[in-house]
Amino acid sequence: DGGITQSPKYLFRKEGQNVTLSCEQNLNHDAMYWYRQDPGQGLRLIYYSQIVNDFQKGDIAEGYSVSREKKESFPLTVTSAQKNPTAFYLCASRGDMNTEAFFGQGTRLTVV
């Protein structure tokens, strides 16, 4: 089955810890995205990558880091510098231009 997989589904983190969210796709898509979703805020872009070994900051990149060492993988690290990390995180991928973005099922991160 082709698709995009995020793991874990739920994640708890203590304050001051870094945590990495996984995103893997087997759709052979070049572009991948990370969004953060908070109630009433919609989907806010954290980072995106159009090609391996290249990525750009989105609107709310502070406190986050990413890597794109492989086409199928785009992990997101939420660092201790992120002031309010509790949120629902969504990863997406896209193929050619003007095509559908496919989303994973999301990771709900809670800081305890």
Residues in contact with other proteins by CB under 8 A are 6, 31, 33, 35, 40-45, 48, 50, 56, 58-59, 90, 92, 94, 97-98, 100-101, 103-106
> Which H or E run contains 102?
strand 101-103
Strand order in the sheet with 19-25: 4-7, 19-25, 76-78, 64-66
To the nearest whole angstrom, how small is the minimum distance from the Cβ of residue 77 to other proteins? 20
Q: Of 32 and 78, which has the nearer Cβ to other proteins?
A: 32
User: Residue type at 4?
Assistant: I
CB of 70 to other proteins, least distance (A): 19
